[in-house]
Amino acid sequence: MPLRFVLFLVGLVFLPVHADERPPAAAIASAHPLATEAGFEILKAGGNAFDAAVAVSAALAVVEPYSSGLGGGGFWLLHEAEKDRQVMIDGRERAPLAAHRDMYLDAKGEVIPRLSMDGALAAGIPGVPAALDHLAREYGCLPLAVSLAPAIRLAREGFPVTGHYRRMAAFRLAAFAESPEAARLFLQAGQPPELGHVIRQPDLAWVLERMAEEGADGFYRGEVARRLVAGVRAAGGIWTEEDLAGYRVVEREPVRGRYRGHEVISAAPPSSGGVALITMLNILAGFDLAALDEAGRVHLVVEAMRRAYRDRAEYLGDPESVAIPRERLLHPFYADGLRMSIRTDRATPSASLPGAVPPGGGDDTTHFSILDADGNAVAATLSINYPFGAVFVPPGTGVLLNDEMDDFSTKPGVPNAYGLVGAEANAIAPGKRPLSSMTPTFVRNDERLAVLGAPGGSRIITMVLLGTLEAVEGKPPLAWVSRPRIHHQYLPDVLQHEPGALDAPTRKGLEVRGHVLREQQPWGNMQAVLWERASDGRVEAASDPRVEGMAAVRVVRDE
C-alpha cells in the first residue's frame, strides 16, 4: 500500500493527560478527504463536534453524491461531553403522504421491477436538510452560514472524480440512461467521467445557500420546495409541498447494552442496527470466546448473527407505526434463551428457526466519526440507499433523490424485485419511515470512548459487531476498520466472508459444523475514532483501507 494512503487512513496524537480531562486533539474519519478537511475547517473556526458534523455531512452531500446527500436521510448519534448525554437525531426519510402499501405493484398484484429503486417514485421525503438545521440550532455553536460554507465552496468550485466515483457511476449506468438531468450533472457524455474530471454543482450550491440563509425552510418551503415537487411530479412521483413542509426530525433515546465492561450505545428504531448489535453482544457475552480456536469463535459469532437477524426481520420497523418489544429484545435474559439454542458443534439451519424474512439493503451509504477537543462526539451514518440513490434530480435543484422507499417491503410476504421478502412491520404506509440497518455506535467505559460505524446495507450491523469486538479487546481503530469481514443474516443461510478472512483450518472447522461458506468481494467502508482517556490520552482515527476515506487527528485550538 503506498505510504500516502497509509497516512490518509490513520491519524494519531499521543499526549499524556489524566482521566476525564479533555482529549489532546480532535479527530475526524470520513469517507472522503475533502469532507474530513471540511470538518477540521469548522473546528478551527471555533465549531464543536456538532458543527463539524454539519460541515462533514454537507460536504459528503457534494463530493460523495453516490452515498448520501440533501436528498437522503440518516442517523446522527451525539455524545455531549459536559452533560454526559447521548441522543440520536433521526433524520430518516418518510414515505410521502400519498404512498400506499401496494404502490409498487401492478394490476395483478405483482411487483413492478425497479419502480422502488430508480426514478421519482422511489424517493422518500428527505431528512438530511432538517437534521443539519436541527444539529446547528440545538447543539452547534456556529450558524449554518458558517458550517455550510465549505460544502457551498465545493459545490461551486467542483471536486475531482476518483476511481470509486467511476465505479459507482458505472454500476448505475442503466438508470442514468433514463435520467437526463442526473446524467448531465454526474456523467461525461453519458459515461463515467474520466479520473480527475471536475464535477461542479451550481444548483446544489444555490440550495445550500438557501439553507445557509433560511435554515430548513430554505429547503422544505419556498422556491426550492416548489422545484423539488414540480420535478418529482413531472416524472411520475407523488410528492406534495405538504410532504416537504411537514417533515420533522425526531430525537430518540439510543439503545444501550453492556459487553465485557463496556457500555454500547447505538442506533434506535427505525434502525434495526442497535437492537440487533446488542442482541448479538448479549448472546456472545455468555461465551468465553478467547478460549476457543478460530473456527469455534467464528461459529459462535455467526450463530449470534443468525438469531439477531431473524428477530430483526420479525419485530422491527418504524416505532411510530409498530409496537417493538424493545425491552425484551435488549434484555440479557432474552439473549440467554437464544444462547441456549446454540450448539457448539453444529450450525443451526436457519429454516429450523421460527420463520421470518431477510433484511434489505443497498450498495452505498456513508459513515463518519468525530471527536472534538472537548470530548463531544458524533457517529453518523447517512444514506441515499443505492449508489446515486434514485438516479433522479428534479431540474433546477441539483438535489439527487434517494431510493430509500426500497428499504420498505414492497409487498409483505412476497419477494420484492431483489428476491427479498419483508414483514408486515415494515410495510409501506403514508408518512412512515422505512426500516434501516444503519448503526452509528459508541462503545465506552471509564478508560476509552470508541466511535464507529459503516455503510453496507444489511451487512452494516455485523461490521459494527466485529469492530466492537476488536475495540473491547483494546485493539486500535486501524484494526477495527481493516479486519477481514464475515457475515450471516439468517437468510440466505450462508456464511459470507471476504477473501482471506478465514484460513483453511477455520474453513474446515466451520464446514464440519455444517456452515455453507460463500466468498464475496470485500465490503464496507468503516470510519472510526478512539480516545483512550484513562491510560495515555491517546486519540486515534482510522479510515477503511478498502475505499478512499481519510482519517486525521489534529490539535485545532490553542488553549
Residue 65 Cβ vs ligand DON, minimum distance, rounded to whole Å:
14
The residues with which 540 forms a beta bridge, in sequence order, are: 12, 530
**In Å, what is the CA distance from 120 to each residue of 11, 64, 410?**
41, 20, 16
Q: How far apart are CA 319 and CA 326, in angstroms?
A: 10
The end-to-end CA distance of the chain, in Å, is 37
Given the complex with ligand DON, which of 206 and 386 has the nearer CB atom?
386
Q: Per-residue x/- mask for ligand DON, residues 186 to 225, rule CB under 6 A? A: ----------------------------------------
Residues 418-437 that bind ligand DON (CB under 6 A): 436-437
From 530, 548, 549, select the one nearest 539 (Cα to Cα): 530
Q: Per-residue x/- mask for ligand DON, residues 442 to 461, rule CB under 6 A? A: -------------xxx--x-
Given the complex with ligand DON, which of 228 and 461 has the nearer CB atom?
461
Residue 123 Cβ vs ligand DON, minimum distance, rounded to whole Å:
12
User: Which of 269, 317, 361, 509 is in the footprint of ligand DON by CB under 6 A?
Assistant: 361
Residue 3 Cβ vs ligand DON, minimum distance, rounded to whole Å:
28
Using an 8 Å Cβ cutoff, are 58 and 37 in contact? no
Cβ within 8 Å of residue 339, ≥6 positions away: 283, 286, 287
If phi > 0 it is left, if psi is from -120 to 50 it is alpha, else beta; for residue 396 that is left
Q: Which range of residues in 225-233, 274-282, 360-368, 534-542 is near ligand DON by CB under 6 A?
A: 360-368
* Amino acid in the structure at residue 125: I
Residue 522 Cβ vs ligand DON, minimum distance, rounded to whole Å:
12
Residues 456-485 that bind ligand DON (CB under 6 A): 456-457, 460
Given the complex with ligand DON, which of 142 and 438 has the nearer CB atom?
438
Given the complex with ligand DON, which of 312 and 444 has the nearer CB atom?
312
User: Which of 119, 126, 231, 362 is in the footprint of ligand DON by CB under 6 A?
Assistant: 362
Buried b (16+ CB within 10 A) or exposed e, 4-25: eeeebbbbbbeeebeeeebbbb
Residue 472 Cβ vs ligand DON, minimum distance, rounded to whole Å:
24
Residue 87 Cβ vs ligand DON, minimum distance, rounded to whole Å:
19
From 120, 149, 73, select the one nearest 440 (Cα to Cα): 73
Residue 408 Cβ vs ligand DON, minimum distance, rounded to whole Å:
11
Q: How far apart are CA 546 and CA 523, in angstroms?
A: 8
How many residues touch ligand DON under the rule CB under 6 A: the total is 16
From 36, 279, 365, 441, the catalytic residue: 365
Q: Which range of residues in 30-38, 167-175, 304-312, 358-366 is near ligand DON by CB under 6 A?
A: 358-366
397 is an active site residue: no
Using an 8 Å Cβ cutoff, are 67 and 60 in contact? yes
Q: How far apart are CA 304 and CA 326, in angstroms?
A: 18
Cβ within 8 Å of residue 288, ≥6 positions away: none
Given the complex with ligand DON, which of 90 and 364 has the nearer CB atom?
364
Residues 392-411 that bind ligand DON (CB under 6 A): 404, 407
What DSSP letter does each residue of 362-427 carry, written as one string? -S--EEEEEE-TTS-EEEEEEE-SSTTTTS---TTT--PPP-GGGGSBSSTTS--TTS----GGGB
Q: How far apart are CA 434 and CA 427, in angstroms?
A: 8
Q: How far apart are CA 281 and CA 266, in angstroms?
A: 12
Cβ within 8 Å of residue 465, ≥6 positions away: 277, 280, 281, 301, 304, 305
Given the complex with ligand DON, which of 231 and 455 has the nearer CB atom?
455
From 12, 33, 89, 531, select the one nearest 268 (Cα to Cα): 89
Asked if 489 interacts with ligand DON (CB under 6 A), we say: no
Given the complex with ligand DON, which of 224 and 464 has the nearer CB atom?
464
The neighbour count for residue 158, using CB atoms within 10 Å, is: 16
Residue 383 Cβ vs ligand DON, minimum distance, rounded to whole Å:
4
Given the complex with ligand DON, which of 433 and 515 has the nearer CB atom?
433
Given the complex with ligand DON, which of 258 and 546 has the nearer CB atom?
546
Asked if 126 interacts with ligand DON (CB under 6 A), we say: no
Cell numbers found for residue 65: 453524491
Q: How far apart are CA 237 and CA 381, in angstroms?
A: 26
Residue 259 Cβ vs ligand DON, minimum distance, rounded to whole Å:
23
Given the complex with ligand DON, which of 64 and 243 has the nearer CB atom?
64
Asked if 439 interacts with ligand DON (CB under 6 A), we say: no
What DSSP letter does each residue of 301-314 carry, written as one string? HHHHHHHHHHHHHH
Asked if 317 interacts with ligand DON (CB under 6 A), we say: no
From 402, 426, 391, select the one nearest 125 (Cα to Cα): 402
Residue 503 Cβ vs ligand DON, minimum distance, rounded to whole Å:
27
Residues 363-392 that bind ligand DON (CB under 6 A): 363-365, 383, 385
Which residues have a catalytic role annotated?
A: 365
Site residues, ligand DON (CB under 6 A):
361-365, 383, 385, 404, 407, 436-438, 455-457, 460
